[in-house]
Structure 1
Amino acid sequence: MNQGFSLVNHIGITVSNLEQSIIFYEALTGKKIANQDQIGGERMAQSQGLKDTLIKYANLQLGNVNIDLLEYVTPQSSRANYSNDQISAMHMCFEVEDLPAAMARLKEIGIEPEGEPIYFEAQDGLKAGFGTGVAYFTDPDGTNLELIAPKGPFTRVK
């Protein structure tokens, strides 16, 4: 058995309002939530270094990774603020075939990109990947996200 890491199982995103986040992530991905429930208690809390916890959650299954949306009821969450240029800040990137169509779905629920979407050109200093489109935005709680319509070396090998 391989002792290394080969797959990402899930990405957990702490949210302030589970129902609002479900609407957002279903619109973003075009997929429906696969499971919604709650978990908690002292044993779960101890695994996270907490005294007690109650977490309402929903799972969104994508082809290669699951997204866990987590609303902490106990303890009540505090808001973190990161911009893409801060050390330890992370963002999650969703691959799409049609960037304008994906952006239109987000605009329908009131989400605007951080800046205008761009398509890489030779002037961007790239040696390959021309035509790749990217857009950056945040979810309703400020989580940094990206959409990419990949070309060239940015295309996933299937």
Structure 2
Amino acid sequence: MENTIKGFTRANHVGITVKNLEKSIAFYEALTGTKVSNIDEIGGPRMAKTQGLNDTKIKYANLHLDNLNIDILEYVIPESEQASYSNNQISAMHLCFEVDDINAAMERLKEIGIEPEGEPITFQEEDGLQSGFGTAVTYFRDPDGTNLEIIAPQGPFKRKNH
């Protein structure tokens, strides 16, 4: 089926709701080595309606990666509630950072005090895959518990134009 609607082949950003904007800015800047491009505030009834809310006030920052932006959002109105998702729960999502060297990425995590969920693995035949051997992955969480992943992709996990 041909894609007749333009624009659904690119992602612009992922939004991550956090408890404390300043703390999360420090985390994501340290993790990515990239500074946020701006910090601002948005809200009011018009914005709230786009999200099914009556009113909203959101403090936010934008972080521009090479191929995706991260919107870091602290909801002031209504106050955010803590959610916790494991990767196997329906509607859980995660953000995956692509790296060239999984070991260097693990060192970076250690430098900023992040413990991964487990040691990284490199996909092998016994993992049940038909392809993608040599791809390395590990999972970790941000300070608010957001599921994050690191991948050093091979085979079909590697994007064609990268």
Band the TM-score falls in, shorter-chain normalisation: over 0.9
**Residue 40 of structure 2 corresponds to which residue in structure 1?**
37
**Residue 141 of structure 2 corresponds to which residue in structure 1?**
138
Q: Residue 145 of structure 1: CA displacement?
A: 0.9
C-alpha distance 22-4 of structure 1, shift in aligned 2 (>3 A):
closer
Runs (4+) of structure 1 exceeding 6 A deviation are none
Stretches of structure 1 lacking an aligned partner (at least 5 in a row): none
**Residue 73 of structure 1 corresponds to which residue in structure 2?**
76
Q: Residue 2 of structure 1: CA displacement?
A: 4.2
Aligned with residue 108 of structure 1, among 107, 111, 122: 111
The CA distance in 2 between the partners of 1:141 and 1:91, in whole Å, is: 13
Aligned with residue 55 of structure 2, among 49, 52, 56: 52
The CA distance in 1 between the partners of 2:35 and 2:103, in whole Å, is: 21
- Alignment check: 8 A CA contact 2:31 2:112 kept: no
Moved more, 101-110 or 91-100: 101-110
The residue identity in structure 1 corresponding to 2:149 is E
| 2:118 is the alignment partner of 1:125 | no
| 2:99 is the alignment partner of 1:96 | yes
Q: Residue 30 of structure 1: CA displacement?
A: 2.1
C-alpha distance 86-2 of structure 1, shift in aligned 2 (>3 A):
closer
Identity across aligned pairs (percent)?
69
Moved more, 2-11 or 51-60: 2-11
The CA distance in 2 between the partners of 1:150 and 1:76, in whole Å, is: 38
Q: Residue 22 of structure 1: CA displacement?
A: 1.1
The CA distance in 1 between the partners of 2:121 and 2:33, in whole Å, is: 22
Please, what is the CA RMSD of the aligned residues? 1.5
Q: Residue 115 of structure 1: CA displacement?
A: 1.1
